A and B are shown apart, each in its own frame.
Chain A
Amino acid sequence: MAYTKPIPEPDPVNRVFWEGAKAGKLMLPRCTTCNRVHWYPRLLCPFCHSRELEWVEGSGEGRIHTFAVQHRAFGGWAEEVPFVTAYIDLKEGDRMFTVLRGVDPTKPESIRIGAKVRVEFEQASDEVSIPFWRVVEE
């Protein structure tokens, strides 16, 4: 089925991330000076301002930091309301935004902050696959 929602456009700063996503890998930028992983991809490390950055493959594991249930959305997402959006604390550090899978948007009280999540990728076009996170424990 065709992906009807917005498809990101890789740019020169984050191309490696999207190439990884296409191959089912969660590529994360890491600073080789202070060893910290950051998100979203930068030109300088946001923690120590070093320009010595590399890409590493992440574990794809994280936990829910906070979430909301979207009852109003535009474009392709309008057909999917209600859906749950969440910020994910990555195992490697820093935080990503996502649409959460494996949860019931009509029962937000059943969703637990701190719950374990794992990344998965949905192919949106020939070129781009998009990361989503799924709750993997009760």
Chain B
Amino acid sequence: MPGELSRAAAIIGAAEANEIGYPATPKTALQLHIEAIKNVSEQTGIPISRIDGVFSAGWSSQLAEHLGLHPKYIDTTSVGGCSFEMHVHHALAAIHAGIIEVALISHGENGWSARATGGRGTGRPRGAPDPWDPGQQFQQIYGVSGAPSNYAHAMTRHNHRFGSTPEDFAHIAVVTRQWAMLNPRAIMFSKETNPGGGPITVEDVQNSRVVAWPLTLLHCCLVTDYGGAVLVASPEVARSVKTKPVWIAGAGESMGHANMLEMEDFTATSAAASAAAAYRMAGMGPEDMEMAMIYDSFTITAGITAEMLGLAPRGEGFLLWKDGRAAPGGKFPINTNGGGLSFNHSGMYGMQLLVEAYRQLSRTAEDGVTGLPGKQVDARSCIVNGTGGSLSTTGTLILVAD
């Protein structure tokens, strides 16, 4: 039986910034936020002034000030790429409690542009990290830097424990690229739009440059710009707008660790716990899911997460891609936008997951909600899982069509 919070709120719109990916001229993170917010307001017909809750990964006071809002609920949870799934969870609870009616969840990140501006416009401090941070003292001193250097250790352990291979995981990159080739907004849409774009093979993935063995470049996500915004609203508001609601049937969040030093099992994440909570709230199980949006910072992230969500047996998550079930035309579509691997990944990718899940379940993926076409699938339920940090934190949502 569904829990009390199930379907207590809906996502009523999802939009992107005017320009995402690799913009011709550098953009700031704030620009990407504001463009997406204005677009979702126009899409739904909800005036910005009607927003009474502001949710973002570290930006909420700046956003509210920029928009001249005086929100009743402010949440700026920033725990990596799953923050946005957690924001939906928190907004659901705040709406159910009657504190707010319309929650804005916003993301703006200039992962690509920041390279051209020496790190300006990111909204993050540019100073050196705290030398007394345990991660600095006991991990960073050994030369690891950035996500690939950490996540590679999980691939090695999965291969050791389950007898899987990097080639098995390369299928995830190959299939995800096939989805990107159906999405003109994807960085890797075609060879014409990007020299690295178009179809790839397992051999291409394995022969690409080694970043952190066993991860080669094509096992790793992109670094792009992205702005995205969704509105979460009460059932009353959801019934009054011109866009279709996508119901939040279940939500859950959890974390395993902050620093990879504390990761107990390198082949498992807290998605098992966050998904269990989401399924419980929804009164549904993995067998009820018709598609999935799974954070794919790396192929290993997606493979492990599929196992944690109960979509595949332990050790066999990659088979969903390898045997074609997750591919275009397959029985169980996964990452229909082309993923963080081939569509867009700004640094924190959880918003991209939400926007695509809304587009699919509201049946607006084909035409595009703001003139942004893509491939429509016929799923009526979608499990969305964000992963943040170094396989650290997770937020899971179960979304269903109206």
Contacts and interface: CB of A to CB of B under 8 A. Distances in A.
Contact of A69 (B138, B146, B210, B266): B210
B74 interface: no
Interface string B130-173: 01101011111111111011001111110010000000000000
A73 interface: yes
Interface string B317-357: 00000000000000000000000000000000000000000
Given A68-B149, A68-B152, A8 B131 contact: yes
Interface in B101-154: 131-132, 134, 136-146, 148-149, 152-154
Interface stretch (B22-30, B49-57, B211-219): B211-219
Contacts of A6: 136, 140-141, 143
A65 B266 CA distance: 9
Given A8-B136, A72-B149, A66 B160 contact: yes
Contacts of A65: 157, 266
Interface residues of B, number: 34
A121 to B, nearest CB: 13
Contact of A8 (B137, B153, B155, B209): B137
Interface residues of A, number: 36
Contact of A70 (B131, B144, B154, B209): B144
A85 B132 contact: no
B162 to A, nearest CB: 13
Interface string B54-75: 0000000000000000000000
B213 A83 contact: no
A93 interface: no
Contacts of A40: 134, 137-138, 259, 261
B157 to A, nearest CB: 4
A interface SS class: mixed
Contacts of B266: 65-66, 87
A66 B138 contact: no
A48 interface: no
A67 B148 contact: no
Contact of A97 (B146, B212, B261): B261
A70 B139 CA distance: 13
A73 B213 CA distance: 13
A68 B138 contact: no
Contacts of A7: 141
Interface of B: 131-132, 134, 136-146, 148-149, 152-157, 160, 209-215, 259-261, 266
The 5 closest A-B pairs by CB, nearest first: A77-B143, A68-B152, A69-B213, A66-B157, A11-B132
Given A68-B153, A70-B144, A71-B211, 8 more contacts: A11-B137, A68-B149, A68-B212, A69-B152, A70-B149, A70-B212, A72-B146, A73-B144
